[in-house]
Amino acid sequence: MDPSPPRAPVIPRTEPDPRDAATGPLWRAAQAFRLVTLLYAVGQQIASAPHYTNQRLSWVLIAVMAVWSGVSAVLLSQWRVHNVRRVRIAVVVGDHLIVIALIFATRLVANYDWYHNHQALPTTLWAANAVMSAAILWGPLGGIASGLLIAAVMVTARAQWDLDLWRDATTPVLVSVGLAIGLAANTARRAQEQLQRAVRLTAAAQERERLAREVHDGVLQVLSYIKRRGGEIGGPTAELAQRAGEQEVALRVLISEQGVGADAGGVEQDLRPLLTAQSTPSVLISTPGEPVPIGRFEAREISAAVASALANVAQHAGPGAKAYVLLEDTGDELIVSVRDDGPGIPSGRLAEAEEQGRMGVSRSIIGRIAALDGTAHLLFEAVGEDGSGAEWEFRVPRRPRQ
């Protein structure tokens, strides 16, 4: 015997698919309409039965119509069934087959003069249920195709392919119903998708804020402490302080990008969060009140250039120096200024560093901005008597909106 314990039965997932959940109210409303049209069809049968040549068969067909209306109404209005979409497709296809069969069955219960000049056994209103179901399931194109199919079957069964066809309202009514319900179904699906996206973004933002708090309380504070103490101690620890400062800035950018990437959902994103994420007690960030959308690549390159400039401030301007970042959007270009109140950069120091093979500024700042067809200028380079500090100005032209 198998000693392993019996496995628990697998319970099928009954949660609705978002697209099915969006159209749930439409399905239920359509089934209410189906039952109302069934009552109309029964009333029409009572009035028309005396004129039929086979009244008994007509009542049998009405009974089939009533049974199918009940079965289809129950199946289409429920979503807590396994493979609900397959069930609905099967019911909608069966709906069309039943309607078509009943329309042609009119010839079995009435003579030519009657079915040529009166409604078919399943009235136009009841036949519209198949069109509505197709429209909800497949959208406006499916609804229009269904309307044209049912209208063509009715015209064929009633032998109305003549000039009187253009005075009959069957075709425009059925096509209009398919178009209107199909558009409503598509609108409901889009609204559901937008709602779910908003819920996901809200959850992501909350998780990002929680993660940022935890990281700020732990890792960022440790990195900030290492940067500050390493700068104070000097010597071999200065390089450790520099690396800690760079990682602190990179980690702040990473935290901000966790939400921006999911939030944009397109080819552009707001540049402001990438810059404000680099704010610290010694780094003040000022951005416009309105979003500054820019391409993802451009946004990250500008953010990285600012991060490199701030890292240089932290390394060379002294432990008490403050940095100020200003973002301006003129419409034609973006202007980013990074200024500090440190001692400034001696004239020719950058050129000297580049000759020595130290490519940090030329690659991480000037190179990044140049890759965006922009310019990076060091406005204050010489050491001022009042310690005016240094100021970088990045100018990046705006590309056409996509």
Residue that finishes a domain, picked among 168, 194, 220: 194
Name, in order, each residue with C-beta under 8 angstroms of 80's C-beta and a sequence gap of 6 or more.
14, 16
Say how far apart CA 256 and CA 270 lie, in whole Å: 11
**360 contacts 316 by C-beta, under 8 angstroms:** no
Whether 175 and 44 share a structural domain: yes
The answer to whether residue 217 is domain-embedded is no
Long-range contacts of 185-192 (CB under 8 A, 24+ apart): 185/23, 185/26, 185/135, 185/136, 185/137, 185/139, 186/139, 186/140, 188/22, 188/23, 188/25, 188/26, 189/19, 189/22, 189/23, 191/22, 192/18, 192/19, 192/21, 192/22
Say how far apart CA 13 and CA 177 lie, in whole Å: 33
Whether 145 and 32 share a structural domain: yes
Query: 371: domain CATH number?
Result: 3.30.565.10
Say how far apart CA 118 and CA 284 lie, in whole Å: 81
Question: How much is the pLDDT for 383?
Answer: 45
Whether 389 and 285 share a structural domain: yes
Report the domain count for the chain: 2
Query: Quick one: which H or E segment has residue 124?
Result: helix 124-157
Residue 277: which domain range? Answer: 266-402
User: What is the β-pairing status of strands 283-286 and 323-329?
Assistant: parallel
Whether 46 and 182 share a structural domain: yes
The answer to whether residue 126 is domain-embedded is yes
Question: How much is the pLDDT for 141?
Answer: 93
Whether 177 and 48 share a structural domain: yes
Whether 173 and 294 share a structural domain: no
User: What is the β-pairing status of strands 323-329 and 333-340?
Assistant: antiparallel
Question: How much is the pLDDT for 100?
Answer: 93
Residue that finishes a domain, picked among 162, 178, 194: 194
Question: How much is the pLDDT for 325?
Answer: 92
The answer to whether residue 395 is domain-embedded is yes
Q: Which residue has the tokens 């100005």?
A: 393
- 268 sits in the region (left: phi over 0; alpha: psi -120 to 50; else beta) called beta
Whether 157 and 290 share a structural domain: no
Question: How much is the pLDDT for 401?
Answer: 57
The answer to whether residue 257 is domain-embedded is no
Whether 288 and 389 share a structural domain: yes
Number of Cβ within a 10 Å radius of residue 401 = 9
Residue that finishes a domain, picked among 152, 173, 194: 194
Residue 113 burial (CB < 10 Å; 0-12/13-18/19+)?
A: exposed
The answer to whether residue 94 is domain-embedded is yes
Say how far apart CA 315 and CA 257 lie, in whole Å: 25
The answer to whether residue 227 is domain-embedded is no
- Confidence (pTM): 0.53
Give which of 54, 48, 71 is closest to 121, Cα–Cα.
48
What does each C-alpha distance from 369 to 49, 327, 365, 393 come to in angstroms?
84, 15, 6, 10
Question: Mean pLDDT for each 10-residue chunk of the chain (402 residues)?
Answer: 46 53 84 92 90 90 93 82 82 93 90 82 89 91 92 85 66 89 89 83 76 65 77 76 73 57 60 86 85 89 88 75 89 90 66 50 75 84 56 86 54
The answer to whether residue 211 is domain-embedded is no
Whether 136 and 278 share a structural domain: no
For residue 397, the cross-strand partners are 333
For 340, the 3-state DSSP assignment is: strand
The answer to whether residue 10 is domain-embedded is no
